[in-house]
Amino acid sequence: MGNNFAAVHKSLEGTVGNWNRLVNQAESRVVSRARRFRDLGAATGLDEIVELPQVAALPTLPSSAELKALPEAGED
């Protein structure tokens, strides 16, 4: 079970990192250009540009020794 906790934790960290990179790309490439079009008076037919929040909270691994992950073969 401890290994499952560690695997899910690692997967969640990766997912959060991917989300935050996507948000940064959208902000720097798409949203900035959309704002420029809006400021120039271009009619986009879209609602107001929404801010994309980054995910800042990360899950906590269990602290009890019984639920901690066992080292994989070859890891120490």
Chain segment 47-57, per-residue pLDDT in tens: 676 777 777 77
Query: From CA 38, how far away is CA 33, in angstroms rounded?
Result: 9
For residue 14, give every residue at least 6 positions away whose Cβ sits within 8 Å of its Cβ, in sequence order, or none. Answer: none
For residue 66, give every residue at least 6 positions away whose Cβ sits within 8 Å of its Cβ, in sequence order, or none. Answer: 2
pLDDT at 76 over 50: no
**Backbone region of residue 15 per phi and psi (left: phi > 0; alpha: psi in -120 to 50; beta: other values):** alpha
What's the predicted TM-score (pTM) here? 0.57
